[in-house]
């Protein structure tokens, strides 16, 4: 087999991508013999761009999926698409130059669908290029009836459980998107606003929202504030509007803020809502759904909020109410989609009751990776005040399956067997209790988190003929959506099935640009995975993902990491090419059937195989702990430092030599190592590993088993001897280098004063005669210093340790060295004689040559004499 000199990923990667039979990654619903490993893959929003952040997360998922499959699990790595939502609506409006109200509802939804289908296609292509082992037989698309009927059925089920209700309640409202949004969708940003001081009846208040004067329903003071406590119970007149409001006392009022008097409006902020509820205040709606002032704002009616604010401030000044203005830094809640400041409006909405105890209980059963991410969920659940508002006033989303009877107003929630259903297009198939068959459709739609919070249920086979497989094994996701997707999924899984959705959650970090900042178009630091594939390779990108940082931490994208990844593949390829040139006519089946003849292996072979088995052990452990960076670094270290830089150099003479037994031992070792490495690399570099494995094995590497540690090959003696040979070869190489000699130049003789059974590879590697000599050489080792071994002395002598160290420093090294030979060291500590074990110290010796024309190398205390 001829292996090309250079590895060209632009040929190899498309070759495998196009020839792989993806059915090898399918989950087997019927198989009960293998343990299941179901991944609750995040369904990305189909923007048409599978970006680098997605890619990092998917690399992690793919590492796990491929690893678990090789370990014998029945793995499901499904792929979903979370289609519904505002961005698509906005994009459609932009693309066609329309607004959603200008075309029929169904037409608008069709446009959204089409855009989404095209976007999914683009993202799928990137995913295939990145080599993900997606199970496409378990793909789901939330806008398809098959999926959203499940969303609707979940609505019905939770309605029947009494966990869903409709109510007029204050909600966060985005005036631009004209929809209610959940708290999870509110982002905060600090902005400078003006704090306005107003004469307010006999009182003085400070407010940042003078435009809400029309909505003022009370004035509050702290009852312990002596300046104002007498006013509690009285009424004051609202400036400009003239209506009378009560003065109430509430401990939540901060006497130190502003004047210590605050006006309560319906609603300026969340605190207003709390007061409104606690004190049973009336409701005055001054802002409508479009963000315009209502009738109660009198002459300001119809104005936008900022216009109204300006006009009212102007009038307050004119009328002499406003006596001071101070700038104030304030955190403003904004819509996460469009950054418009949100308002709190009271509207009739659908809500899901939140049971935080239930969520906490499930969260405690789930293994969080990294563990500290759990705190984020706990903090969120601990501060929830309102239920989850699930209705939205948009179009492209799952319809709320509800009608209202026109006669008696009764709510008719669709039955499960009517679903999927769009109440705006269909009439209920039965009449109302009151006998009427005239209904009004619910036009609101569901929050998209209602779709995506049942992914775990969906992939587990919920509402199908398959056996239910909940809990799934792994939820991989970003830390930015812990309070949304993770929270809602747990809530829904517990409510509907009474089970935790997953055994473990693996939280990935965000990808930062080369400059250390979050990737964003405005900073111009965005890199697409397709770019990386084009310039380097998918495997190199995947290696960056593996090695760039431990899961959970934010990872910087750096081109040089991709470059060094490509270099590793170049190196590995070169090793592979070298190995294959020696394995051409090699019949590895002999070894396969009868097992390796260990006795035929040389020390260096056993040293390598011992290290290989240790590698397998450590990589397996890292993979089990989702420590991909550790795993890959270990593979890289073994390959480069042990296999390439040392083993191959040491066995070259055997491989090119005449001794068949020695040659075969090296070939066997190379074969086993290449085989194991291709399997270890398979989860990380599926293309490269496949190419490698195709040269030595049958079938795809991705259906092979994960290598197992062969304990009998782990041999500390072989490791020590092998290490020694490696060190001798290395030292001699360095010696030649230092003395300006060619590295293959022969030396007259090398004398090793120690024990070594097999000198074959030392001979080969040094290209010089080697003699093993028992006993001491004709030069002296002079002990020059004694180094205390703190790891032994510390725990043993505790408080005395320091005194012993000092005492040892005083002693004559020669005396200590002599005592070590006798097995007991005595040392005088503060006048007392103490006995120490020899392992308490290390004696450093200096070699003094006895007049021969030689150079002496000291290798781990063993003298090696070089005769030139």
Partner RNA sequence: GGGCCCGUGGUCUAGCCGGUUAUGACAUCGCCUUUACACGGCGGGGGUCAUGAGUUCGAAUCUCAUCGGGCCCA
Q: Which position among 47, 574, 710, 785 is part of the footprint of RNA (CB under 7 A)?
A: 574
Q: Which two tokens stand for residue 66?
A: 């491929």
User: Nearest to residue 520, comparing CAs of 529, 512, 508?
Assistant: 512
Please say whether the beta carbons of 100 and 395 come within 8 A. Answer: yes
Q: Check if the beta carbon of residue 335 is closer than 8 Å to that of residue 181.
A: yes
Stretch that binds RNA, among 30-38, 213-221, 346-354, 560-568 (CB under 7 A): 560-568
Q: Is 483 in the site for RNA (CB under 7 A)?
A: yes
> Which of 244, 339, 480, 776: binder of RNA (CB under 7 A)?
480
CB of 315 to RNA, least distance (A): 32
Nearer to RNA, 243 or 567 (CB): 567
Q: Is there binding between residue 588 and RNA (CB under 7 A)? A: no
Is residue 855 at the binding interface for RNA, with CB under 7 A as the rule? no
**Computed over its alpha carbons, how large is the radius of gyration of the chain?**
37
- Would you count residue 814 as binding RNA (CB under 7 A)? no
Q: State how far the Cα of 401 lies from the Cα of 420, in Å rounded to an integer.
A: 8
Name the minimum Å distance from CB 573 to RNA.
8
Of residues 183 through 202, those in contact with RNA by CB under 7 A are 183-184, 186-188, 190
440 belongs to the binding site for RNA (CB under 7 A): no
Binding RNA by CB under 7 A: which of 280, 320, 595, 795?
795
Q: Token pair of 797, please?
A: 């002598």
Is 790 a binding residue for RNA by CB under 7 A? The answer is: yes
CB of 481 to RNA, least distance (A): 9
Among 318, 518, 852, 868, contact with RNA (rule: CB under 7 A): 518
CB of 830 to RNA, least distance (A): 14
The three-point CA angle 245-247-248 to 5° equals 125
Nearest alpha carbon to residue 280 among 218, 194, 210, 368: 218
In the chain, DSSP finds a helix count (H) and a strand count (E) of 26, 33
DSSP single-letter state for residue 396: S
603-624 vs 649-656: helix crossing angle, rounded to 10: 130
Q: Which two tokens stand for residue 674?
A: 């290449």
Q: CA–CA separation, 109 vs 91, rounded Å?
A: 12
The answer to the question of residue 521 lying near RNA (CB under 7 A) is: no
Q: Does residue 629 interact with RNA by CB under 7 A?
A: yes
- DSSP lists the bridge partners of residue 841 as 788
The verdict on 564 binding RNA (CB under 7 A) reads yes
Indicate whether 337 belongs to the interface with RNA (CB under 7 A): no
254-293 positions binding RNA, by CB under 7 A? 270
The interface with RNA within residues 1-60 (CB under 7 A) comprises 5-6
Instruction: For residue 440, list its beta bridge partners.
Output: 404
CB of 56 to RNA, least distance (A): 15
Residues 726-755 that bind RNA (CB under 7 A): 730, 733-734, 737, 740, 742-744
Integer Cα distance of 793 and 837 in angstroms:
9
Kindly tell me which of 11 and 161 has the beta carbon lying closer to RNA. 11
- Which residue's entry shows tokens 């509430």? 250
On the CB side of 676, how many CA atoms lie within 13 Å of its CA? 26
Question: C-beta of 428: minimal distance to RNA in Å?
Answer: 38
Q: Which stretch binds RNA (CB under 7 A): 203-211, 342-350, 771-779, 793-801?
A: 793-801
Cis before 267? omega within 30: yes
Taking contact as CB under 7 A, which single stretch among the options 454-462, 546-554, 594-602, 697-705 is the one that binds RNA?
546-554
Binding RNA (rule: CB under 7 A), the pick from 252, 570, 621, 809 is 570
The residue within the footprint of RNA, chosen from 115, 248, 538, 556 (CB under 7 A), is 556
**Which of these, 174, 53, 47, 57, lies nearest to 122 by C-alpha position?**
47
Nearest approach in angstroms of CB 568 to RNA is: 8
**DSSP character at residue 293:** B
Residue 561 makes contact with RNA by CB under 7 A: yes
Distance CA 748, CA 853 (A): 12
Contacts of 848 (CB under 8 A, 6+ apart): 779, 780, 781, 782
Q: Establish if 837 lies at the interface with RNA (CB under 7 A).
A: no
Task: For residue 376, state whether it binds RNA (rule: CB under 7 A).
Answer: yes
Q: Collapsing DSSP states into helix, strand and coil, what is residue 494? A: helix
Q: What is the DSSP string of 788-846?
A: E-HHHHHHHHGGGHHHHHHHHHHS-HHHHHHHHHHT-EEEEETTEEEEE-GGGEEEEEE
Which residues of the shown chain bind RNA in the complex (CB under 7 A)?
5-6, 183-184, 186-188, 190, 270, 331, 372, 375-376, 379-380, 383, 479-480, 483, 516, 518, 549-550, 553-554, 556, 560-561, 564, 566-567, 570-571, 574-575, 577-578, 581, 629, 633, 637, 640, 644-645, 648-649, 652, 656, 730, 733-734, 737, 740, 742-744, 787, 790-791, 793-795, 798-799, 801-802, 842
């Amino acid at each position: 087999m001829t292996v090309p000199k250079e590895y060209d990923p632009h040929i190899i990667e498309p070759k495998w991508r196009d020839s792989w039979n993806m059915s090898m990654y399918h989950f087997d619903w019927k198989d009960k013999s293998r343990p299941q490993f179901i991944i609750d893959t995040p369904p990305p929003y189909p923007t048409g761009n599978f970006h680098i952040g997605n890619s990092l997360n998917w690399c992690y998922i793919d590492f796990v999926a491929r690893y678990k499959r090789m370990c014998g699990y029945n793995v499901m790595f499904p792929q979903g698409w979370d289609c519904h939502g505002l961005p698509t609506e906005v994009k459609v409006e932009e693309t066609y130059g329309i607004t959603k109200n200008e075309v029929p509802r169904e037409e608008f939804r069709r446009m959204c669908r089409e855009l989404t289908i095209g976007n999914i296609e683009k993202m799928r292509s990137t995913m295939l290029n990145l080599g993900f082992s997606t199970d496409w037989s378990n793909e789901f698309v939330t806008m398809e009836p098959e999926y959203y009927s499940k969303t609707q059925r979940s609505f019905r089920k939770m309605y029947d459980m009494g966990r869903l209700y409709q109510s007029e309640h204050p909600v966060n409202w985005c005036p631009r998107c004209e929809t209610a949004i959940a708290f999870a969708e509110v982002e905060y940003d600090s902005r400078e606003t003006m704090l306005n001081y107003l004469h307010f009846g006999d009182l003085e208040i400070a407010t940042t929202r003078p435009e809400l004067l029309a909505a003022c329903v009370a004035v509050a003071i702290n009852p312990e504030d002596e300046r104002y406590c007498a006013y509690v119970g009285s009424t004051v007149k609202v400036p400009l509007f003239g209506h009378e409001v009560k003065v109430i006392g509430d401990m939540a009022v901060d006497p130190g803020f502003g004047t210590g008097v605050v006006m309560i409006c319906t609603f300026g902020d969340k605190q207003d809502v709390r007061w409104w509820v606690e004190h049973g205040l009336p409701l005055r709606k001054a802002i409508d759904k479009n963000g315009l002032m209502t009738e109660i704002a009198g002459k300001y009616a119809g104005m936008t909020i900022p216009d109204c604010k300006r006009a009212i401030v102007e009038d307050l000044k004119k009328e002499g109410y406003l006596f001071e203005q101070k700038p104030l830094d304030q955190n403003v809640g904004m819509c996460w989609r469009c950054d418009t400041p949100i308002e709190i409006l009271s509207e009739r909405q659908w809500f899901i009751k939140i049971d935080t105890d239930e969520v906490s209980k499930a969260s405690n059963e789930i293994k969080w990776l990294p563990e500290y991410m759990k705190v984020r969920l706990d903090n969120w659940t601990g501060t929830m005040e309102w239920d989850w508002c699930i209705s939205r006033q948009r179009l492209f989303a799952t319809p709320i399956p509800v009608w209202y009877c026109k006669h008696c107003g009764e709510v008719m929630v669709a039955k499960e067997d009517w679903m999927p259903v769009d109440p705006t297009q269909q009439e209920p198939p039965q009449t109302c209790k009151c006998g009427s068959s005239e209904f009004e459709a619910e036009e609101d739609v569901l929050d998209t988190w209602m779709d995506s919070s049942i992914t775990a249920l969906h992939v587990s086979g919920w509402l199908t003929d398959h056996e239910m497989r909940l809990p799934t094994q792994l939820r991989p996701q970003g830390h930015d959506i812990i309070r949304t997707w993770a929270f809602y999924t747990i809530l829904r899984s517990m409510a509907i099935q009474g089970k935790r959705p997953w055994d473990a959650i693996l939280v990935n970090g965000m990808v930062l640009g080369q400059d250390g900042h979050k990737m964003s178009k405005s900073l111009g630091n965005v890199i697409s995975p397709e770019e990386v594939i084009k310039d380097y390779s998918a495997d190199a990108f995947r290696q960056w993902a593996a090695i760039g940082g431990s899961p959970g931490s934010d990872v910087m994208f750096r081109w040089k990491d991709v470059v060094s990844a490509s270099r590793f593949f170049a190196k590995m390829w070169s090793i592979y090419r070298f190995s294959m040139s020696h394995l051409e006519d090699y019949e590895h089946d002999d070894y396969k059937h009868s097992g390796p003849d260990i006795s035929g292996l040389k020390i260096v072979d056993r040293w390598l195989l011992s290290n290989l088995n240790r590698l397998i052990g450590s990589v397996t452990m890292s993979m089990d702990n989702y420590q991909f960076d550790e795993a890959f670094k270990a593979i890289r270290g073994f390959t480069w430092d042990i296999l390439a830089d040392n083993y191959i150099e040491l066995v070259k003479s055997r491989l090119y030599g005449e001794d068949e037994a020695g040659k075969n031992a090296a070939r066997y070792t190379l074969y086993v190592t290449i085989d194991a490495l291709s399997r270890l690399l398979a989860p990380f570099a599926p293309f490269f590993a496949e190419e490698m494995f195709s040269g030595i094995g049958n079938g795809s590497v991705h259906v092979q088993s994960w290598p197992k540690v062969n304990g009998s090959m782990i041999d500390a003696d072989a490791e020590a001897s092998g290490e020694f040979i490696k060190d001798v070869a290395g030292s001699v190489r360095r010696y030649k280098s230092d003395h300006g000699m060619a590295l293959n130049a022969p030396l007259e003789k090398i004398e090793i004063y120690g024990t070594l059974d097999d000198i074959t590879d030392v001979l080969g590697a040094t290209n010089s005669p080697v003699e093993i000599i028992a006993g001491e050489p004709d030069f002296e080792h002079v002990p020059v210093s004694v180094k205390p071994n703190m790891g032994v002395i510390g725990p043993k002598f505790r408080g005395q340790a320091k005194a012993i160290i000092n005492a040892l420093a005083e002693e004559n090294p020669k005396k200590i060295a002599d005592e070590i030979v006798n097995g007991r060291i005595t040392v005088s500590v503060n006048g007392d004689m103490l006995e120490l074990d020899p392992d308490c110290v290390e004696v450093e010796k200096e070699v003094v040559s006895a007049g021969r024309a030689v150079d002496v190398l000291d290798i781990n205390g063993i003298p090696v004499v070089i005769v030139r």
